């Protein structure tokens, strides 16, 4: 299987951002092919191919050149540490990466749980602080609740997960929103296609 026959291959994250990404491309004049079924791995219409990926895998597919462009949150890019061209802030998927704790806990932080361990370690280094960072894959707030860690670094969007768990946002470490990312070689080879797309996406305003 190769996507070489397609004019453009687009990597999109499954979940909250997928529908907004479709709307952003449509508003930029690019109708991305729709999914055929729920368990589709990819779909194409002859010209365009869409890969449906876990958000954390979007930078990998774009960096390694399987996809030409992708949509992904800045939070994921901060963790991925890949060198991708990031020309457009698409404006939707606004959230923040925050340090979260139990409200009654002000002891020194010795262990932090996060889906963003590289980002968390880099933040600790910048601060000159030392703590163990434990990688988790989901429901990270639970780690703070049950004492697996003294704090967690996680995404806060509406804040409802935090409120429901009775946890508090101690500090905002980074702000995030959806970004268009582009493979540098694809940008050169498919210039006529990708440059106008970038220009149009810069004009588009999409709310979540
Ligand atoms: C993310 C994040 C928080 C929640 C924050 O989890 O890890 O748990 O969303 O959003 P809120 O502020 O609007 O409540 P996600 O739903 O992606 O699932 P996961 O924890 O399984 O990764």
Give the CATH number of the domain where residue 125 resides.
3.40.190.10
| Same domain flag for 83 and 129 | no
**Length of the chain as a residue count:** 208
Q: Which atom of ligand 1 sits closest to the CA of residue 164? A: 14
180: exposed, middle or buried (C-beta count within 10 Å: 0-12, 13-18, 19+)? Answer: buried
Residues 46 and 147 in one domain: no
Residue 150 and residue 102 share a domain: yes
* Total domain count, the chain: 2
**119-162 confidence digits (pLDDT tens):** 999 999 999 999 999 999 999 999 999 999 999 999 999 999 99
4 CA from centroid of ligand 1 (Å): 35
| Protein residue closest via CA to atom 1 of ligand 1 | 155
Contact between residue 87 and residue 127 where contact means Cβ atoms under 8 Å apart: no
Interval 96-106: pLDDT, tens? 999 999 998 88
In a domain, 197, yes or no: yes
CA distances from 153 to 80, 88, 99, 173 (A): 15, 26, 5, 9
Task: Using the atom order of ligand 1, give the atom closest to the CA of residue 140.
Answer: 20
pLDDT digits (tens, 9 = 90+) for 141-153: 999 999 999 999 9
- For residue 162, tell me if it sits in a domain: yes
Identify the residue whose C-alpha is closest to ligand 1 atom 3: 155
Residue 23 lies in a domain: yes
Asked whether residue 208 is domain-assigned, the answer is no
What residue owns the CA closest to ligand 1's atom 18? 138
At 205, is the pLDDT very low, low, confident or very high (cuts 50, 70, 90)? confident
- Mean pLDDT for the stretch of residues 177-206: 96
| Domain of 153, in residue numbers | 95-176
From 14, 115, 161, 173, the mutation candidate for ligand 1 (largest count of ligand atoms within 8 A of CB) is 161
* pLDDT at 7 exceeding the cut of 80: yes
Pocket of ligand 1 (CB under 6 A): 138-141, 154-161
* In the predicted structure, residue 1 carries a pLDDT above the cut 80: no
Give 154 Cα–ligand 1 centroid separation in angstroms. Answer: 8
- Is the model's pLDDT at 41 over the cut of 90? no
Tell whether 3 is covered by a domain: no
Ligand 1 center to residue 161 CA distance, Å? Answer: 7
- Inter-residue contact 32 to 50 (CB < 8 Å): yes
Residue 82: how many other CB atoms lie within 10 Å: 13
15 and 80 share one domain:
yes
Is 139 within a domain?
A: yes
- Same-domain status, 85 and 104: no
Q: How distant is the alpha carbon of residue 17 from its chain centre?
A: 9
Mutate to test the pocket of ligand 1, among 117, 119, 141, 155 (most ligand atoms within 8 A of CB): 155
Residue 182 lies in a domain: yes
Whether 207 is in a domain gets the answer no
Question: How many helices (H) does the chain have, and how many strands (E)?
Answer: 8, 11
Residue 17 alpha carbon to ligand 1 centre in Å? 13
Question: Do 100 and 162 contact (CB within 8 A), yes or no?
Answer: yes
Q: What angle do CA 200, 61, 113 make, to 5 degrees?
A: 105
Cβ atoms within 10 A of the Cβ of 129, count?
11
pTM: 0.94
Say if residue 111 is in the same domain as residue 165: yes
What is the rounded radius of gyration, in angstroms, for the C-alpha atoms of the chain?
19
CB atoms within 10 A of CB 142: 15
**Residue 167 C-alpha to ligand 1 middle, in angstroms?**
14
For residues 86 and 102, membership in a common domain is answered with no
What 3-state class would DSSP assign to 205? coil
Q: Check whether residue 168 and residue 188 sit in a common domain.
A: no
């Amino acid at each position: 299987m190769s996507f070489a026959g397609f004019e453009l291959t687009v990597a999109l994250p499954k979940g909250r951002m997928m529908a907004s990404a479709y709307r952003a491309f449509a508003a930029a004049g690019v109708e991305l092919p729709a999914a055929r079924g729920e368990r589709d791995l990819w779909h194409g219409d002859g010209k365009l191919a869409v890969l449906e990926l876990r958000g954390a895998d979007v930078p990998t597919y774009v960096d390694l050149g399987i996809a030409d462009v992708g949509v992904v949150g800045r939070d994921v890019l901060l963790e991925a540490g890949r060198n991708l061209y990031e020309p457009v802030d698409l404006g939707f998927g606004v959230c923040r990466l925050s340090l979260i704790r139990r409200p009654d806990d002000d002891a020194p932080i010795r262990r932090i749980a996060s889906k963003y361990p590289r980002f968390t370690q880099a933040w600790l280094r910048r601060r000159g602080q030392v703590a163990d960072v434990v990688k988790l894959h989901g429901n990270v707030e639970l780690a703070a609740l049950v004492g697996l860690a003294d704090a967690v670094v996680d995404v806060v969007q509406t804040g409802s997960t935090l409120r429901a768990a009775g946890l508090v946002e101690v500090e905002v470490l980074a702000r995030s929103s959806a970004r268009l990312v582009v493979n540098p070689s694809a940008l050169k080879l498919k210039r006529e296609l990708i440059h106008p797309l970038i220009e149009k996406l810069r004009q588009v305003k999409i709310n979540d």
